[in-house]
Structure 1
Amino acid sequence: MSLKEHATRVAVLRVLRDAVDTEYRTERHEVLVALLAARAELNLKSVRVTLPDDTPVATLTLVDPRPAVVVADEEAFTAWVTDNHPGEVETLVRVRPSWQRQFLARLACLDPVADPYTGEAIPGLGVLSASEPRSFSLRPLPSGRERIARALHTGTLDLRRLLPLKVGEDP
């Protein structure tokens, strides 16, 4: 398969994935609302999922969350632990993360890393070489999604050709 064919496949799959994800989220919400209503009305917690020919394929079950203890007032809890379990309290000394991000962004990627004002080497800093790209971005052109959807709808793009599935394989 050529780069052009791979790129087309990626763009089409992205459109399909987005469409499926949207439908999936909407349908999950609808099912949750219906399950909650069935529980309130019929005390029903699970429902069997079947294909149109009544072949069972899954079970949907409401998952009841468990109550959990959380820290609602960090300062009050820390004071209590300090009084009752002093060995479990630690003091944290660190560079403010927002300042560190800004400072590092201004430095040149030269080893040793030097203070831009004094030229003095800054202890504790080093330069990490850039790695090979691990991903890429896909930004559809204006109307690109609609064009792909139209091409799939009209048959200009053959989904069976783009996603050939062997018999017996799950999609």
Structure 2
Amino acid sequence: MTAKLHGLRVAAGKVLADIVTAGYEGVRADAEKVFGAARRELGAKTLDVALPDGTSLGTISILAGPAERTVNMSAVAAIVAQQSGAVEALRPEAVTDPALLAFVRDHMPHLIETKVRQEDLKAALKRIDAEGCLNGTDGKKVKVAEVQRGEPTGEFRYRPSPEAEAAIRRAWQAGELQELLADLIRPAVEAGGQS
């Protein structure tokens, strides 16, 4: 096959893939509407997906609504200071020599400020749970953020089963999925100009 034919193959493949991708995005948007209603009205969090013959195709996880957090940074910094230890440092007008730091701590404590390391603070922010809590030094949860959850939108994640690809290929070849996926595939077929 020549370079020109490979080029044609790449161009045609990309265009057709884009058409199918756009069809998939439409299928996904339609599903999100139904999944959002199922989560809001029925509390559904997961959906097992299977072919009509019962072959498992995996699981759909319907996500909760988007969350907004308002973090109490002082509370997070206090927990980090207790857990990771605060760093003592002299103010910018002083030097950071360890012997001087010890001397100043003993004789001029007003020149010392306590800081939390940024990397410890960032790590703590990642550990805030879905309810806005962080484990304190004693292991008890401390509320450090207010979480406001919006309505579920239907956004989801699909985790295929190990046999999903082979099962879908068999079902497609047997003609079992064409009607179900007509809206996904039709644009690619119509792009071929069948009359």
More strand per residue: 1 or 2?
A: 2
Shorter-chain TM-score above 0.5? no
Normalised by the size of structure 2, how large is the TM-score? 0.35
| TM-score, length-scaled by structure 1 | 0.39
- Which has the higher relative contact order, 1 or 2, with Cα contacts under 8 A spaced 6 or more apart? 2
